[in-house]
Amino acid sequence: MKAWNVNKGNMRKWIGKAMLGVLCACGVMLMLPWTVKAATAVETNGALKVEGKKLVSQKTGTEVQLRGVSTHGINWDVGYPYISKAAFKTLRDKYSVNAIRLAMYTTEYYGYCDKGSAWESKETVQSTLKSRIDTGVQAATDLGMYVIIDWHILNDQTPKKYQSEAKKFFKEMSAKYANYDNVIYEICNEPNGGTSWSDIKSYANTIIPIIRANDSDAVIIVGTPTWSQDVDVVSKSPLSYDNVMYTLHFYSATHQQSYRDKLQVALDNGLPVMVTEFGVSEASGAGSMNTAEAKKWLDMLDKNDISYFAWSLSNKDETASLLKAGTSKKSGWTKSDLSPAGKWVLTQYNKRSGNTTVSYEPAKVGKITLKNTKGKKLKITIKKVSNATGYQIKYSTKKSFKNAKTTKTTKTAYTLKKLKREKTYYVKVRAYRVVDGKTYYGSYSAVKKVKIRK
């Protein structure tokens, strides 16, 4: 037998990986001194299926719970700018989101079936919306996230109004994404205006076979009467197809215990439910927040392994938006970029997923001191920030920091050199942290100034 020629470092890695494999097989998590890339949700679970009232992995047979975020309407500029790999990656990596819902309105301005006052032709509108869907599907797929293609009826009230358009749409979508393990179809968002379960059932019996002709086992979600709330009614007469779930939507400042009672009836009757939309606001998406009721909802959903999607990934000036109104960033959001609802919801996602680190950003630098030393030098002393990789120093002779210079240091003391005598320098410092090759910055300290006299 040929002897191995292995150095100590390689041998240590080989032994460590072997131990990791054994421990993972036993369900034990071991913190090793090198980084092990976590498997994505889709890598872990593959395609999903419905067993009884549970969503499970076809790959492992274990129960799967999706904690997702819904876009606002991708028809509008409060929704489509956030359809990107960078945005979805931020949600996945910083806020424990493993699924995205792409909400495409069928009516209103730029609607798929009724384009309203949009100046483009209907064909152009539809082509644009399908392109946005594809961008979202591909981004989610690249990131190992699940994605819902949502036929978002609302003002049309009944899904039967545009049933012929829905048939063509889902035929095209299911053919295009038939081989994608992560794509889920939601065939009618919120039937309302007196639309009965009988009407919805008739619509579903038309659309589901069209999807199944191309994709035999994708999970399909069906809306329920009264803005997707009457799951108790549906549980008495469900559809006969496999891999079908039914929606329940709630907004915690409006929908409280009586609606949880409806969910309990549905669960007692064995109905598989998915909450494809919820908010901590009133039902309008505006008004007050009620996080106490929202917590009761999430506790119930977690207890029953029910998946849920928060409304909405948007900076629209309304309570339910996850981003602060006016926030210009399209990805990389820190806590300061989130709305009050966003802070609460995404903190809950992290906690309920076992990830207590809300973000990688280090804390704000609390204090800096400046001292002019001989030789036109400025010594900067920084109060240490826990978990910081280093510090970025920004300085200028202008209070506005116009034409400012920056430098970095990994130490809490740093000396600027070759400064100009009799000039006043303004200085501020922020901590940074490097994670997986990416740099995350905290907030700047208060500005300090000093005049160079030595």
Catalytically annotated residues: 190, 277
Sequence-separated (6 or more) residues with CB below 8 Å from residue 428: 368, 393, 394, 395, 401, 444, 445, 446, 447, 448
**What is the rounded distance in angstroms from the CA atom of residue 421 to the CA atom of residue 442?**
31
- Is the separation of the CB atoms in 132 and 83 below 8 Å? yes
- 3-class DSSP state of 146: strand
Report the Cα 428 to chain-centroid distance in Å: 33
Strands, sheet with 377-382, edge to edge from the N-terminal-most edge strand: 368-373, 377-382, 413-416
Q: Which tokens hold the place of 126?
A: 């539809």
Q: Which tokens hold the place of 448?
A: 């300090």
Peptide bond into 312 cis (omega under 30): yes
**Strand duo 405-409 + 390-396: pairing:** antiparallel
For residue 209, the surrounding DSSP H or E stretch is helix 197-214
**What is the rounded distance in angstroms from the CA atom of residue 177 to the CA atom of residue 215?**
8
Report the Cα 69 to chain-centroid distance in Å: 5
Report the Cα 362 to chain-centroid distance in Å: 21
Q: How far is CA 211 from CA 46, 47, 169, in A?
A: 19, 16, 10
b/e string for 262-287 if b means 16 or more Cβ within 10 A?
bbeebbeeebbbbbbbbbbbbbebbe
What is the Rg, in whole angstroms, of the alpha carbon atoms belonging to the chain? 26
Q: How far is CA 232 from CA 238, 264, 301, in A?
A: 10, 8, 16
- Is the separation of the CB atoms in 94 and 107 below 8 Å? no
Residue 431 bridge partners (DSSP): 391
